[in-house]
Amino acid sequence: MNKTVFITGAAKRIGKEIALSFKELGWNIIIHYNSSKEDALNLAKEINNANKNTAITVQGNLDVKEDVNAIIKEVLDAFPSIDLLINNASTFYPKPLSESTKEDWAKLFPSNLYHPLFITRELADSLKKHKGHIINMTDIHAEIGLKNYSIYSAAKGGLLNLTKSLAKELAPDVLVNAIAPGAILWDVNEPSEKKKQQILADIPMKRIGSDKDIVMLADFLITKKNYKAFVEVKNVTLMRKSKIAEFPDAVTSRGLKHIDELIKASKKGYEIYIAFIVQREDCNQFAIANDIDPEYSKLLSKAVKKKLNVLCYDCKFSSKGIKVNKSIKFKI
């Protein structure tokens, strides 16, 4: 029996590309749309031409309670078994504080927060029954905010925390994750060329993301659900020699315990990682401070032989905060 995915806002852009990716997996696909009827019907036709009777469309305005109720009924009537819910639909537009109104709140909060919650509530039993998944599309600005988008950022911040809460509440039956895109596709509210260059300068890959990047991540979250990993993150601030960051900066019994835990996790089938994050901009190399804590150095080397993956990145500082920047050379 084919698995079934329900994608809100699936007629165009990211939602469409996600739908097409599940076509390749042979899933049943429920395509929700509001006003993009022609796009939704064409997408369903394309999918059904490849995999007969696997795609349907459902129409409704997620800002209208009655529409949401009708959508849920239509979804469950068509496919009682829901394996994956992707809350992708979103209303997005700028609204400076001085111009913000209750009407803007009423437009931006429902699709970005209110209805992901209640759609999830109505589909929770089906998702639990089939050990399903939920992916909520949040936004990088859910955590750092975006000028002139205060209401939108607040709604996405709520969705991010809703995701974290539901992950605990629905576990272990339903796996709940969020994808938080940054700069994706210029064609909506396209910035000036100068602004584009400013945005690209802060992105390590020096390019904006694409809908294909989101699809790859969604695919990983669903198809790689048995992938297990432990990741230990260490903040690095010590520099004794020019441009060389070091860790630890003192004897660390706690650090030894963490490496031991990673080794134990590896024996249980987990991939194990340790990430050293250099929180300064004047270093281009990283090394273990053997003289400060030789025992830590020995145990880390032992763990590397047991397939510990070591990562090291520097950071970039700005008035907006601290960002992981790029990989730097290291020697263990």
Domain chopping of the chain, boundaries: 4-223, 229-331
- pLDDT exceeds 70 at position 252: yes
Count Cβ atoms below 10 Å from residue 258 Cβ, excluding itself.
19
Give the pLDDT band of residue 246 (cuts 50, 70, 90).
Answer: very high
> Which of 215-224, 253-262, 270-279 has the lowest average pLDDT?
215-224
Q: Report the percentage of the chain scoring pLDDT > 70.
A: 92
Confidence (pLDDT) at 224: 66
Average pLDDT over residues 191-208: 67
The reported pLDDT for the residue numbered 204 is 57
Residue 192's pLDDT is what?
72
The pLDDT of 197-202, averaged and rounded, is: 67
Structure confidence by residue, pLDDT tens digits, 68-123: 889 999 999 999 889 999 999 988 888 899 999 999 988 889 889 999 999 999 99
Q: Give residue 291's pLDDT.
A: 96
Higher pLDDT, 201 or 265: 265
Catalytic site residue 152? yes
pTM for this model (two decimals): 0.68
Give 230's strand partners. Answer: 272
What pLDDT band is residue 47 in, cutting at 50, 70 and 90? very high
Can you give the pLDDT at residue 66? Answer: 87
**SS3 call for 121:** helix
- The per-residue pLDDT for range 269-284, each reduced to its tens digit, is 888 999 999 999 999 9
pLDDT number for residue 189: 59
Q: Which tops the pLDDT comparison, 165 or 307?
A: 165
Dig out the tokens for 127 from the structure.
């998702």
Do residues 47 and 5 make contact, with C-beta atoms less than 8 angstroms apart? no
pLDDT, tens digit (0-9, with 9 covering 90-100), for 133-183: 999 999 888 888 888 889 999 999 999 999 999 999 999 999 999 998 876
pLDDT exceeds 90 at position 292 = yes
Tokens matching residue 97: 């504080």
List, for residues 17-37, the tens digit of each pLDDT value: 999 999 988 999 999 999 999
Measure the CA–CA gap between 110 and 89, rounded to whole angstroms: 10
Q: Which of 33, 149, 152, 313 is catalytic?
A: 152
Quote the pLDDT of residue 205: 58
- 305 burial level (CB within 10 Å; 0-12, 13-18, 19+): exposed
Helices 102-109 + 150-170 axis angle, to 10: 40
What is the token pair recorded at 126? 């089906």
pLDDT higher than threshold 90 for residue 65: no
Proportion of the chain above pLDDT 90, given as a percent: 59
User: Which amino acid would we find at residue 330?
Assistant: F
CATH for the stretch 229-331: 3.40.1350.60
Residue 238 pLDDT > 90: yes
SS3 248: coil
Domains 4-223 and 229-331 share a fold: no
The Cα angle at residue 9 between residues 137 and 217, in degrees rounded to 5: 40
Please name which of 93, 118, 87 lies closest in space to residue 108, comparing C-alpha atoms: 93
Average pLDDT taken over every residue of the chain: 88
In this structure, whether the domain defined by 4-223 belongs to CATH 3.40.50.720 is answered with: yes
